[in-house]
Each structure stands twice: as structure tokens, then as C-alpha cells.
Amino acid sequence: MARLSVTMAGAAVLVGVLAALPAPATAQYPDRPIKMIVPWAAGGDTDNIFRPFAVELQKHIGQPVVIANVGGASGTVGAREAKNAAPDGYTVYAVHDYIHLTFYAGISDVKYSDFEPICLVAATPSVLTASAKTPWKNWQELAADAKKRPGEITVGATLGSTSHIFPALIEKQAGVKFKFVSYEGLAPRMNALLGGHINLTDSNLTQKGKVEAGLLRFIAIASEKRDPESPDVPTLKELGMNIVFEVVRGLLVPKGTPAPVRAKLEDACTKATKEPAFAQAMKVQGTRVAFLNANDYGKFLARIDDENKVIMTDLGLIKK
């Protein structure tokens, strides 16, 4: 009995010592600003979507969320920096579908499964957009010209990314051949299109003002139905091409980030996407709020990874 009493006394002392120790670091998370890596230049679509999101996110996470634009190599420089960041919740990665494509194209060894999902944020339908300096007023005129001049009509794209895959899908279904010209992100592509240096690119409804000013021309949108903001723009499905293509964007964190930290980020993300100011900002960006929680986003990422592998294989672009 004496021995048992000593053991119990020792346990009591141990409990007291543990109670006096500071709580784990994750209990205080976050206690300093959070860096959000956007793997494209400032002023592009991804940047313009995540900046207003970061404003709402920091309201609910309780610390500043600072955008870090880490561009280069079709978004893979930023992806690699995010993958190699400390898994402590102080670096989050603003991603879109390109991460699947650049991996399968052999451009990068970083894949979506190198990260943990936090939430899906937004979805943006792609619009095939022409320079106003081109002669076509609609898809029928463009298709007829493309068939007469295979490989001559130029399309600006970030090679191996969504802006490459979208027009490549149109090529395949329409039976035409484009000439792809490489640009790093949307902003330089749009400058080239406005200057008439290229004929076409993948853009979205944020360019509506330039279309109304006569600087650009929307050819077709890759949504299920016509968009009420631009009701005169036909869908690709109407034109006989079974293509629905949205660029989806969400938040990831490095593999190994503690579950309590991920849960706090997910909760803040859930609240941020419900903010009316964010919905209004997305409308301006030709985008819809498309929230998924961490579990559902993880399943979604696995599904679209499989779909993108099939697309890349079908288009003859797969290297892995």
C-alpha cells in the first residue's frame, strides 16, 4: 500500500507540472500575420480574386493576411515555395486548377496531394475572347477562318495551365488548329490581345468593359447557360461543343500542418465566403462564390485531378 501511495503522489505532482506548462503553440494560433502565396503577378485574375478574400479572411482569423505574389514558370515557383514552407499555418497557398495541369505536363513536380485542403472559394467560367483587330464577329466566322488557315490563328496562353487547356479543348472539338503563344499569366496576355499581337485568349467576364468599349470581342462562354451579365454571348454548348470550363480557386496549406490549425483556417474561410462584400467583389470579377469545406474540397480536388489527367492524355499533352 505504501508503494501505491507513493505512485499516486508522484502522478499528482506530474499532473501539476503539466498544468503549469504553456499550452501548445497551436492553441494560440494565429499570433502573427499569415502569408498568402498567390503564384501569379499582381493584377491578374487569381490576385484580383484572393485580395478581397484576404480582407474578409483576416476579419475572421484575427491576424493580417498578407498577399505575396510569387510568379514564374507557369505558377510553379509559387507552388514550390508553398510546398516547402513550414507546416505551421502561417503560409497558405492560393491555388487553382493549374496545379494538376503543370504536374501532368511535366512542368513541375509539385502536385495537389503535397498539400492539405482548407476550402474552395470561387469559380470563374472561361470566355474565348478575341482582339477587336480580328475580322470575326462570331464563332462561325472564326471557325471558318481557322479551317482555311490551320496553325495561323494565334492564341495567348500560359502553357500547361488552364488558359492553354481551354482553347485546346475547343481546337479538338471544333476540328481546328491554333498557334499557341506563351505568356506568364493573364495580365500580359490581355496586353498582347489589346495590342493586336495575338488573336485570341482565354479570359472571363471581367473584360466586359473592354468589350463594351470596342477593344475586345467575346466569342463564347464555357458555362452551362448564358450569363445574365452578358446575355448576348453564346455558350460553347449552344455552338455544338460540349465544353463547360471553370477555373476554380481555393486555399491549401503544406502537408503536416496540424489539424487544429487547419480547423481554424477552415472556420475563418467558411465565414469569409459568406460575407456580402466578398460576393459583390466576385461579381465584379465575373466569378461566383463556390464554397466547399475541407473534406468536400479534398474530394473535389481528387476528382478534378483525375479529370485533368484524362484531358491532358486526350490532348496528347501528358508527360507524367
Kindly list the averaged pLDDT for each block of 10 residues, start to end, along the chain of length 320. 37 40 63 96 90 98 97 91 98 96 92 98 96 97 98 92 91 95 87 97 92 97 92 97 95 98 98 97 92 98 93 85
pLDDT at residue 215, rounded to an integer: 97
pTM of the predicted model, to two decimals?
0.81
Q: What is the b/e burial string over 91-108, where b = at least 16 CB atoms within 10 angstroms of the residue's CB? A: bbbbbbbbbbbbbbbebb
Phi, psi of 48 (to 5 degrees): -70, -25
> What local confidence, expressed as pLDDT, does residue 320 receive?
66
Rounded CA-CA distance 38/57 in Å is 15
Instruction: Say how many CA atoms lie within 13 Å of 249 toward its Cβ.
Output: 26
Give the C-alpha separation, 87 to 35, whole Å.
Answer: 12
Residue 319 is predicted with a pLDDT of 86
Which pLDDT value is given to residue 26?
A: 59
